[in-house]
Structures are given as structure tokens and as C-alpha cells.
């Protein structure tokens, strides 16, 4: 006699069926993805996804096991919310991930992930982050004391601006830690402190950062999926493949063959003061992120109350603009040195390890490089294990190098100045590729 309490058998699917549900094509645009051989329909859930609709949709039609494990702390809790989305599983004759992916590499990386967890490398040292926050607050106080004690003449004014620019850069790296859930064991605690650091110390919204940055990590350097390469093609021609494609299509939004020159004008000095500075307000108002807006306003109120009595209106506006200029240069050179010189193309749906390695490179370790870049000189390790506390990157690096050597994958690591120069060289190369295709193909 059939047991009425028995759970109904799950439907069985092939990778061909799943690949067709990628959210593209004619309506209805279904979106399915696979996690640990289970098939989930995220067609409607994606709009309610806490990490944003786009980041989860980027894996529609694909296996999302490795990014799921990489991004979530409390996987047991997340799986409870996933149950209503479950529609079936892979058929027994289907591999656990797409046949096009390197089976041995996927399995080796998952073994590496298990080793990392056993070694405790995902556990944070809270004292590290407390001291890091204290050094930021000390620099912030020192900037104010400089003008208060020495006055608002040129030298103290500029010195204070440098200190405040350093505060903004270093607070940017710290908010990055909380945004990646790498400081506390509970996601909620990371989110709370993230709002304080990015909102009150920097004047930016956490929701905006989450919306952009998680997409970048999910599909780094993948055009139309990674927002960090959205400057192609309006301002720059990026990557060899995309630059040639642009030239063949006879598209010219800018004189790309000169982009390595105008990068110095519209890139590092302009991104924060001329774009981010106003766009973040548009973002929070348009998306009704009122809590983020309130945190942002506390930054501007505090900045005004502390510096207006010392500098007046013109002085405080000049100081703010100069600080954003310093922060912008710092931010752009550090964040782009790991990515722009690397492979940029459309999403080819390769395995997680290869996805991150082809889009990232490292910069040599030193005390200065670690501090100056917020440990993003270990960009490879950060991308492979985004919730790992940054003070543990150096410990996992030898294991990553070993896996790269086993599979013949290049592990790129450069001196800091070489990494900066490679940004310019890569822009020059892709600009020349565009020009050649534009004129001759």
C-alpha cells in the first residue's frame, strides 16, 4: 500500500533544459539555476533576492553551487527560503555541473574550499578590525586638530585634506570587509555595522554598494554582467575581444586609440567627485532607501558642524572637493590594477575558479601594500573566498598557487607600480586593437 505521507518524486531535468531557462529570449523568460544538483525556479524570487535581482539572475541557466557557497554565511537558513523554489533535480545521467566545465578543477577547488574551512581561515580576528577602525578614527580626529590648532592656512589645510582623504580610502576598505560579511559570524551584524561605516564615515549608501559589488564578484569582467566594466563602450574600449568587436561594428563613442591618455583626466580624478558623489543620492531616492539616506546625512551633518566654524562655507566646500579628489585617485588606481589588464569578455560560463583567475591578479605583499590597498593586493584570494577575513589571505595564497600550478593556470602577481602601469598599457593596447579593426576590418 502506498504511503500517503511519502514526498512526491522530484522532476528530473537535463542541462539542455536548464540552459534554456536563462532569462533571455522571448517571454515568458523563465530563470532556473542549479545548486548541489537541485533545480530552482527563481523567475519571480529574483526580484525579492536580498542580494539583488541581478546578481542571482546572472546565474540563470547555470550551476550556481560555488557562488552560493562563496557568498552565504548561514547556508542552513538560506536553504529554508529556497525550499519553495525547488522544482526538481538533475537527472541521474547528468553531471553535477555543466559538461563544458573542467570536472577535475571544479572538484579540486571544492576540496580546497573544504580545507580552508577546516583550517579556520574563514574565522575573523575581531581585534584586527577594532584596531583598524581605531586607526581610521584617529586619522579623522588628527585632521580636525590640524586645522583647529594651526589654522586654515595653505599647509595645514592641505595636510588635513590628505589625512581626510586617507580616512575615506581606509574607511572604504573597512566597509568592504563588512559588506562581504567577513567580520561577524551573523550576516545581520555585518549589515548593521556596514551601514555605519559606509554611511556615517563615508557618506555613501550600503544598498548601492551591495547592488554593484556583488554583481562584480559573481561575474568579474563579464560584459553586461559586471557593472565595473560598464564604462565600455561609452568611455573606454576594454579587453581585446570587446575592443575588436567594437571596431568591426564601426562604433566610436570616444577616440579609444587615445584612451590611455584621457584616462588620467576622466578616470582617477573624476570618478568619485563628478559621478559617484551625485549618483548615490539619485540611487537612494529612486529606490526609496531611506535608512541609507539617513546614515549618509549624518556624515554631511558631522562634516559641516566640525569644519564650518573653522573654514566657513567656501573653505568647507573646497575641503570636501579636495578630499573626494584624493579618495577618487586612490580608489580607482587600486581597484582597477587587478582587473582592467585582465581578460574581459562576455560570460562564457566557465567554472568558478577559472572565472576568478582570468579576471583578477595580485600585487606583491608588503606592509605598505597591504595597508594601502586594504589587502586587495590579494585580489585572487579575495575573489575565490569573498567572505574570508582579509588578514587570512596570505595564509591561503600558497594553496591557491598550488592549485593553479596543478592545472596550468597562471597566477599573476606584480609589483605595485607595475600593476598601475599595466592599467595604462592595457588601455593603450585595446585602443590600438579597436583602431585597427575600425579602419581595416
Q: Where are the alpha helices (DSSP H) in 72-186?
A: 75-82, 103-118, 126-150, 154-179
Given this model, what pLDDT does residue 285 score? 97
> 9 — phi, psi (to 5°)?
-65, 140
Given this model, what pLDDT does residue 26 score? 63
What's the sign of the alpha-carbon dihedral 380, 205, 199, 332? positive
Model pLDDT for residues 256-269, shown as the tens digit of each residue? 999 999 999 999 99
Given this model, what pLDDT does residue 8 score? 65
Grid coordinates standing for 152?
586654515
Can you tell me the mean pLDDT for 407-418?
Answer: 98
Can you name the residues that pair with 63 across neighbouring β-strands?
34
Model pLDDT for residues 156-206, shown as the tens digit of each residue? 999 999 999 999 999 999 999 999 999 999 999 999 999 999 999 999 999
**Please, are residues 165 and 326 in contact by the beta-carbon 8 Å criterion?**
yes
Residue 381, CA distances (Å) to 34, 278, 376, 395 in order: 25, 33, 9, 10
Given this model, what pLDDT does residue 249 score? 96
Q: Which CATH number fits domain 12-100: 3.30.230.80, 3.40.630.10, 3.10.120.10, 2.20.140.10?
A: 3.10.120.10
Segments of the chain assigned to CATH 3.10.120.10: 12-100
Q: Cis peptide before 294, with omega less than 30 degrees from 0?
A: no
Can you tell me the mean pLDDT for 119-131?
Answer: 97
pLDDT at 155 over 70: yes
Q: How far apart are CA 415 and CA 427, in angstroms?
A: 19
Closest C-alpha to 105, from 360, 342, 352: 352
> 243 — phi, psi (to 5°)?
-65, -45
Given this model, what pLDDT does residue 245 score? 97
Can you tell me the mean pLDDT for 420-427?
Answer: 98
Q: Running DSSP on this structure, what letter comes out for residue 50? A: T
Q: How far apart are CA 270 and CA 278, in angstroms?
A: 12
pTM of the model: 0.94
Given this model, what pLDDT does residue 4 score? 47
Q: Running DSSP on this structure, what letter comes out for residue 41? A: E
Confidence category of residue 2, pLDDT binned at 50, 70, 90: very low
Amino acid at each position: 500500500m502506498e504511503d500517503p505521507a511519502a514526498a512526491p518524486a522530484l522532476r528530473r531535468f537535463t542541462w539542455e533544459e536548464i540552459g534554456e531557462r536563462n532569462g533571455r529570449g522571448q517571454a515568458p523568460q523563465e530563470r532556473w539555476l542549479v545548486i548541489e544538483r537541485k533545480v530552482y525556479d527563481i523567475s519571480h524570487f529574483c526580484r525579492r533576492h536580498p542580494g539583488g535581482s541581478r546578481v542571482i539572475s546572472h546565474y540563470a541557466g547555470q550551476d550556481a553551487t560555488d557562488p552560493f557557497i562563496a557568498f552565504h554565511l548561514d547556508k542552513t537558513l538560506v536553504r529554508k527560503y529556497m525550499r519553495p523554489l525547488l522544482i526538481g533535480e538533475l537527472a541521474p545521467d547528468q553531471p553535477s555541473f555543466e559538461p563544458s566545465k573542467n570536472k577535475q578543477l571544479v572538484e579540486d577547488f571544492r576540496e580546497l574550499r573544504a580545507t580552508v574551512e577546516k583550517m579556520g581561515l574563514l574565522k575573523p580576528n575581531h581585534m584586527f578590525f577594532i584596531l583598524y577602525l581605531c586607526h581610521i578614527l584617529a586619522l579623522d580626529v588628527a585632521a580636525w586638530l590640524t586645522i583647529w590648532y594651526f589654522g586654515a592656512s595653505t599647509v595645514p589645510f592641505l595636510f588635513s585634506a590628505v589625512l581626510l582623504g586617507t580616512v575615506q580610502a581606509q574607511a572604504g576598505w573597512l566597509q568592504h570587509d563588512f559588506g562581504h560579511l567577513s567580520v561577524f559570524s551573523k550576516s545581520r551584524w555585518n549589515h548593521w555595522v556596514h551601514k555605519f561605516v559606509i554611511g556615517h564615515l563615508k557618506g555613501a549608501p550600503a544598498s548601492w554598494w551591495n547592488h554593484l559589488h556583488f554583481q562584480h564578484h559573481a561575474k568579474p569582467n563579464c560584459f553586461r554582467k559586471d557593472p565595473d566594466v560598464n564604462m565600455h563602450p561609452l568611455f573606454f574600449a576594454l579587453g581585446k575581444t570587446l575592443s575588436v568587436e567594437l571596431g568591426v561594428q564601426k562604433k566610436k563613442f570616444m577616440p579609444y586609440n587615445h584612451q590611455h591618455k584621457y584616462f588620467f583626466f576622466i578616470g582617477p580624478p573624476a570618478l568619485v567627485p563628478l559621478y559617484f558623489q551625485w549618483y548615490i543620492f539619485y540611487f537612494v531616492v529612486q529606490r526609496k532607501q531611506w535608512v541609507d539616506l539617513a546614515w549618509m546625512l549624518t556624515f554631511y551633518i558631522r562634516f559641516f558642524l566640525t569644519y564650518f566654524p573653522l573654514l566657513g562655507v567656501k573653505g568647507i566646500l573646497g575641503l570636501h572637493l579636495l578630499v573626494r579628489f584624493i579618495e577618487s585617485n586612490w580608489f580607482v588606481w587600486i581597484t582597477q590594477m587587478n582587473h582592467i589588464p585582465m581578460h574581459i569578455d562576455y560570460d562564457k560560463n566557465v567554472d568558478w575558479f577559472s572565472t576568478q583567475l582570468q579576471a583578477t591578479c595580485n600585487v606583491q605583499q608588503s606592509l605598505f601594500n597591504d595597508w594601502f590597498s586594504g589587502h586587495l593586493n590579494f585580489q585572487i584570494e579575495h575573489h575565490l573566498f569573498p567572505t574570508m577575513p582579509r588578514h587570512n589571505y596570505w595564509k591561503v595564497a600558497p594553496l591557491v598557487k598550488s592549485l593553479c600550478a596543478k592545472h596550468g593556470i597562471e597566477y599573476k602577481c606584480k609589483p605595485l607600480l607595475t600593476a598601475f602601469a599595466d592599467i595604462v598599457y592595457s588601455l593603450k593596447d585595446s585602443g590600438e586593437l579597436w583602431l585597427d579593426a575600425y579602419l581595416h576590418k
